Structure 1
Amino acid sequence: MNIMNYTRREESWQPGLASGPRDAIFSAMLERLCGNGFYTVNDQLSHESVLQALIDREERLSTAMGEGIAFPHARLENLKKAIFALATFKEPVDFDGSPVRIICLILVPISDPSISLKIMAQLTRLLSDADVRRQVLDAGNTAELRNIIKAHDPRIDKPILARDIMRPPRFSVLGADLVSKCSHLMSVNNLHAVPVVDDQRHILGEITIERLFKYGLPDFFGQLKSVSFIAEFDPFEKYFEDESSTLCCEMMEESARIVPMDYTIMEAVFDLAIKSCPKLYVVDEQKRWVGTIDKGLVLDNVINH
């Protein structure tokens, strides 16, 4: 099925809107999208309840996806059919510190939450193309904006891929960085793993919190049933001795899981859940790191979507 089936002919296309506070933008987009009898068909919903659902979801985690794009969405118990609107802005809208000029606002029935992810996946693929993004931002009227999307025949029966759900690259270290920099990143940002990259953002390896935590422990320590007879032993003595000189390239493990952008979501879940990979590092055709997938991302954007 084409995602155009989840749009309204005029109301879903909102080019060149004026910027403003995020929640006020949600309200303005809803007023247009949900006009012309929408609340008559969906008589148990109201502008206020739908707006609050969008705000509540956004407060849990920003839906800004990078490249100036955001996908605010809400699951609604009494919505008859999924629907979305695509809006562009002359000036950026602030999404928790991220400037956004393209907003795709999606409403789905609570009984069919995967529709929003499939719509998001198709639009993400289209808008990842810089030329398409430029065309969308330059669209001067509703018909022009609608026709740009329609021309690409975006269908929701295609599988969801790594590129559709990955987070943009954020935290990393270079091989020549001191391992103390990595441990600080993990501590401050509550990270379970940090990739080690080169100057071209190729993944060289990965430092996990388990690797740091166990660093310097004698082999026999992991076999003990009790530590009562060595209670005075300092398990981190070696770490503190070496942290001033140990490099990330010396601490990293080369087993980082690197996957292509067309890796399917089922393959990603298998790696995370069954193979216990802490993170999946998504790379482009030049093997450059372009995104990350972890269990938290899957939980928030797929299971709890």
Structure 2
Amino acid sequence: MMTTKEVRLADYLQEECILCDVDADSRDKAIDQLVGVLHRQLGGFDRAEAVSAVLERERQAPTVLAEGLALPHARLAGLAKPSLALATSHSGIDFEAVGEEPVHVIVLILTPKDDPGAYLRLMASLSKTLAAPHMIKRLSVAGDTREAFGILTEGPEKVEIRLNASSIMNSNPVTLDEGDTLAHAIQAFCSNRIMDIPIVDSDGDLRGVIALEDLLGQSLPQHLLWMEDLSPIENFEPFAELLRKDSETKVADFMHDKYVAIAPDVPAIQLAKIFLMQRIRQIQVVDGRRFLGSVNLDGFSSQIFWA
């Protein structure tokens, strides 16, 4: 069954928890002020613990989801219900996300530790609401809290949220093209600290996947794998041979087409079963052959257990 729930943002956000043109010149100060206003209005949690949890989450992976928008969040033990706080900044705040512009709209999400679906539903609802054209700009220049509250809660009273693959996938993962070289692949693996990379062609179709194991397989041919003792190979000579040709070897020479692909409307809970039953690290989300995004086991687990 599809996981479905109607979300009404006004049920989680009070007008008093909105800070227009917040007086903060850094990510940490903005988050501290947002946690502070929620603590004053609602209570029910330890402020210092909440600030620490949100900042730790940001240091691990910045939550800048779109141009000018950040959704910092944390799950707290003992919190009675999910709560939101909103801050806007005319000049923008550096959220320390590499390659991203300053953030003008920040929505803090605090959810109970024992309700993993709450964060996912609120994030999906906010992403859907704030994806409308000019929404970030409208919020960032709102003159007062009432105006900002009205902008965020206008439209349908309730939004139906279906937690499916498209809700939790990374829609902008690292990808490669079949014509890219081994040198490109090595750089992508190492600089991004990832283990699997989808291969997508110029039409946006998924062509295959490469994994770190594929690089090892190119270096160690089958006859070496049958050897019981590899100690005579002291200086990784097979790897050196591969690296000498890294600018000539194409990704197409070692990618594989044995991957798991699902449609974007597959229920999110189904992905847990796929990861467990098929013992894989990455699931591709496709519409036909058109590549939409990926779900990695570590990212999926983080959203369920840590958010």
TM-score, length of structure 1 as denominator length: 0.80
Q: Which residue pairs with 2:250 in the alignment?
A: 247
Q: Which residue pairs with 2:81 in the alignment?
A: 81
Q: Give, as a single letter, the amino acid of the residue that structure 2 aligns with 1:96.
A: E
Q: Which residue pairs with 1:177 in the alignment?
A: 180
Q: Which residue pairs with 1:27 in the alignment?
A: 32
1:193 aligns with 2:211: no
- Could you tell me how far apart the structure 1 residues matched to 2:176 and 2:221 are? 27
Distance 1:297 1:285, change over 3 A: same
- Which is bigger in relative contact order (C-alpha 8 A, separation at least 6)? 2
CA drift of 1:296 comes to 1.1
1:152 aligns with 2:153: no
Q: Which residue pairs with 2:118 in the alignment?
A: 115
1:130 aligns with 2:133: yes
* Superposition CA RMSD, Å: 3.1
- Could you tell me how far apart the structure 2 residues matched to 1:85 and 1:133 are? 15
Q: Give, as a single letter, the amino acid of the residue that structure 2 aligns with 1:72.
A: P
- Could you tell me how far apart the structure 2 residues matched to 1:218 and 1:60 are? 37
CA drift of 1:192 comes to 0.9
Q: Give, as a single letter, the amino acid of the residue that structure 1 aligns with 2:80.
A: K
Distance 1:255 1:137, change over 3 A: farther
Q: Which residue pairs with 2:67 in the alignment?
A: 67
Residue 40 of structure 2 aligns to a residue in which SS?
A: coil
Moved over 6 A (4+): none
Q: Which residue pairs with 2:53 in the alignment?
A: 53
Distance 1:46 1:176, change over 3 A: closer
Q: Which residue pairs with 1:227 in the alignment?
A: 228
Residues 125 and 164 in structure 1, CA contact (< 8 A), matched pair in contact too: no
How many pairs does the alignment contain? 295
- Could you tell me how far apart the structure 1 residues matched to 2:266 and 2:67 are? 21
**% identity of equivalent residues:** 23
Structure 2, unmatched stretches of 5+, are 1-5
Residues 63 and 72 in structure 2, CA contact (< 8 A), matched pair in contact too: yes
Distance 1:152 1:277, change over 3 A: farther
Q: Give, as a single letter, the amino acid of the residue that structure 2 aligns with 1:153.
A: E
Q: Which residue pairs with 1:17 in the alignment?
A: 22
Q: Deviations over 1:54-92 (max 9, x none)?
A: 223323332222333222122222333321113332222
Q: Deviations over 1:6-41 (max 9, x none)?
A: 4343223344435521111012223333334x33xx
Residues 19 and 92 in structure 1, CA contact (< 8 A), matched pair in contact too: no
- Could you tell me how far apart the structure 2 residues matched to 1:303 and 1:238 are? 43
Residues 18 and 91 in structure 1, CA contact (< 8 A), matched pair in contact too: no
Q: Deviations over 1:243-268 (max 9, x none)?
A: 34221122222344444443431233
Structure 1, unmatched stretches of 5+, are none
